[in-house]
Structure 1
Amino acid sequence: MSQIVLLAGLCKQVPAFELPLIGIDRGAVTAMRLGCELLAAIGDFDSISDDELLELKAYTKVIQLNTHKNETDSEAAINYARSLGYDEIILYGGLGGRIDHELINLSLLVNQSNITLMNERNRIRLIDPGTYHQQRDYHYLSFMPLEECVITLKGVAYPLDHCIVHPWDTFTTSNEIIDEAEIIVHQGRLLMIECDD
């Protein structure tokens, strides 16, 4: 799989990803200010000034979208990245701002394959039936089922064995990985959420 990072408007810093980068709207300006090399900048750029847009155009390829469109800037960036052949996408900086944008970004995660949402303190991924081994990269590990799921959790503070979990159940929140977790999804799809305080 080929990976790419899309930098959304809420990123204030850019971790040392050793992957290609595309900036989304204000996220492109942040990346430019930090000296990050961008494959492109995409968005309607309604959150930046005309001077910043001119500066961005001198810095990298700019794909300027109409402000009246039927997709978000993030969705357009995902589609653009896929058109370039990238099939595993990290959307960095798309959490923690306007709740409508955050929920839409979560829906992109659910409705498209191989997307990870991240910010400075969180990583969210959709996991399907299968076995996953997870290092302790974050303090907390939570799960949000999208449908009835059957899961087994090993190597965590609160293990489960073939446990049935329903949407809106809350008992799979704030678990902790002891060393390396083994997560087995026997049935269903769920969001795996890793968090730090």
Structure 2
Amino acid sequence: MRIVPNQDRDFTEWHGGCRHALVWALDVDTPAVRERVSEARSLLAPHLLGRYRRQPHITVAFAGLDPLPGATPTGGLYTREDRRGHIEGLTRLRHGPLDVEVGGWATYPMAPYLEVSAPGFEPLRDLLSTRPGLYTPHVTIGLYAVESELGTVADLMADFQAPPIRLRVEAVSLMSYEASDIAGPLTTLGRFSLTEGSWSATA
């Protein structure tokens, strides 16, 4: 496998003027996970897009584009009705908190990531995703900006130490990011408490 660069551009043909894209995710932006992501990014820096600013998170499902009057997207929209339906589904699911373990590194062709073990993840994925099929939960380290051999990347990560980081995640969050920016930060719009079975908006 070779690693390949991401296209760092505004995919206007996809978002068509919709300002935000929405994603359901587990917030794992803790000091321990941030430190591990930072260490991995430092080792991989020659191969990564330098301006990546997404906070550590585990994507559960891409929700869709936030509708905007006058926009002409080709990507799917995520309406208020969709959000309401998912919140109702989460309420019925009565899932409970997740015990998550963040470990070593692995990679996709376009992005390196930290491996994640999350027993009980699949019911949340099945409920919130419109794309059934196999999915590997992970924490993205960054986005590749160059093309290279996988062996070169593996050599850079040879001394990377990754004892398990264990977390209890008590909410699944609806987050947004600027649809025009492949590397911009996330904003949390609301959280569904897996402990209390209730939704609270934060933005």
So what's the TM-score if we normalise by structure 1?
0.23
- More contact order relative to length (CA 8 Å, sep ≥ 6): 2
| Structure with a larger share of its residues in strand | 1
Larger Rg: 1
So what's the TM-score if we normalise by structure 2?
0.23
